[in-house]
Amino acid sequence: MQHLSINTIKSWERFYRANFINCLSGFKSANLIGTVNKDGQPNLAVFSSVVHLGSDPALVGFINRPLAAAPHTIKNIEATGVYTINHINLSFVEKAHQTSAKYPVEVNEFEAVGLGEQYIDPIIAPFVAESLLKYALTLVEIVPIRYNNTFLVIGSVTDVILNETLIEVDGFIDIEKANSLSCLGVDAYYKPTQLTRYGYAKPNSFEYDSSAIKLTESINKIS
């Protein structure tokens, strides 16, 4: 195992370093966020930073980069208070990634990349027609992250659109069946396959055998 200090990492070429740091946080959720500005002009952009904040109330967050780099989505959400999050499915991943290109503000990314623009009354923000799991949110708060000029955008889920055959008996959604994807770094996409569901963990319901301790002791010695 290699030990890299941040000073070493800082000395690397800018794009090499960005690829490396972007991978540290691990596999991410691959989504398209749909918005309109106050004149109804649509915008669609790929986001990999969607994060669950709580289930009651149902809150979902995402990180918006600094305004200079990524102004459209956050400005539209501020202006209208409404947006959609659409899972990227295997069938349209290439088009979805293409929305990350820097199109001028007057370009409708739905048209530019060839994805269907779907409106579900009374939600004014567009959904991605092809997405098999998507939801609408109203803006709760935009939290500025002062340290690097990014923003945590917090929304409250108002509507969920999905094929109900995806919902399992305990409410779990089988997004693998919808071919929802994961992503990594700035440009890699992944198809996850379920290993297992472990259920709710309790302190007394788990036993590990002592061979595990011997194993970790050996690893500690060699690392």
- Closer of 67 and 101 to a copy of itself (Cβ): 101
Pick from 86, 61, 70, 82: nearest CA to 142? 61
Q: Interface with a copy of itself includes 74 (CB under 8 A)?
A: no
Residue type at 113 in one-letter notation:
V
Q: Interface with a copy of itself includes 112 (CB under 8 A)?
A: yes
Whole-number Å distance between alpha carbons of 34 and 38: 14
Whole-number Å distance between alpha carbons of 127 and 97: 16
- Closer of 38 and 114 to a copy of itself (Cβ): 114
CA separation, residue 219 to residues 70, 193, 211, 216 (Å):
44, 29, 13, 5
Whole-number Å distance between alpha carbons of 183 and 194: 16
- Closer of 79 and 112 to a copy of itself (Cβ): 112
Q: Interface with a copy of itself includes 40 (CB under 8 A)?
A: no
- Closer of 35 and 175 to a copy of itself (Cβ): 175
Q: Interface with a copy of itself includes 57 (CB under 8 A)?
A: yes
Whole-number Å distance between alpha carbons of 157 and 164: 17
Residue of 81, 124, 159, 177 interacting with a copy of itself (CB under 8 A): 159
Residue of 11, 40, 68, 203 interacting with a copy of itself (CB under 8 A): 203
Q: Interface with a copy of itself includes 114 (CB under 8 A)?
A: yes
Whole-number Å distance between alpha carbons of 47 and 66: 14
Q: Interface with a copy of itself includes 212 (CB under 8 A)?
A: yes
Whole-number Å distance between alpha carbons of 14 and 216: 37
- Closer of 38 and 216 to a copy of itself (Cβ): 216
Residue of 1, 68, 106, 122 interacting with a copy of itself (CB under 8 A): 1
